[in-house]
Structure 1
Amino acid sequence: MKTSYLLHNKYKKFGWILLVLGLIIGALFYTEAIDNELLKVKVLSFYSNGSFMDEEKSFFQIIETGLLDEIISILIIIGGLLVGFTKEKIEDEFIYQLRKDSLAWAIITNYIVLLFAVIFIYNFTFFDVLIFNMFTPLLIFIIRFNFLKFKFNSNEE
């Protein structure tokens, strides 16, 4: 099966390292065990409105902010993409079908959960849901794809 969008299998281990590291640091950050002010630096902001209640908006400005949440997001996204979109050692029609089904299942599941959150979760808690929602399609895909692969391999033995 020719899949031109998949990366070489050698990137999968590196992807797992980045993904797991991002998830662990992200959990520590979310539980406030790690402070965002730890990596406070000046950065170029394309658009900024200051604090939450600030009415002043600005474009292309140097601001000072904590970068830990951005680093965590980058680790999870790059790690997840490497894990999810690298070739398997044996990339055949069956793996292609598992990958396709898992991706569709992840998107549908993600939007069902998001719909539930839109209906039943409000205020700043909903903002947390939106943040997690950036990562859930990729994470659900990885979990589902690897679960189905494991299930098939254990049935084969």
Structure 2
Amino acid sequence: MSLFEAAGGAPAMLALAGDFHERCLADPVLEHPFSNRLNPDHVRHLAEYWGEVFGGPPVFSTEHGGHIAMLRLHANQGAYGDIGDRFIACFDAAAEATIADPAARRAMSAYIRHATAEVMSYSPRDAVVPPTAPMPRWDLAP
């Protein structure tokens, strides 16, 4: 069983992304980056991205450019301070609120830590995003 399936499939990804987005908007530090470039389809795109990473259909890659598009969107923002820690805390709280399976939540939390570190590595204004990057695949821990 994939992490996507263990978490509850597409409906669970959408619930997770929606809850996460609301938590970020309520955070005094994350609110600005999340509201500044607000795309009305952001929550759906985020759900599609996470769904693909966790073993669901490749919707984000086929419709939105895959992992490299996500990295480019978030690169060169000059992120500062504890923004990564806040991002992780919002994700973990959203997962706790929306994903019933504790093993799925643990695996997803491990992923978000990995993903946040990767995105933050491209945050400096002079960072160079590679021309290609494979979509990460994350699953339940063995």
Q: How does the TM-score come out when normalised to structure 1? A: 0.30
Higher Cα Rg, which structure? 1
Where relative contact order (Cα < 8 A, 6+ residues apart) is larger, the structure is 2
TM-score, scaled to structure 2: 0.32
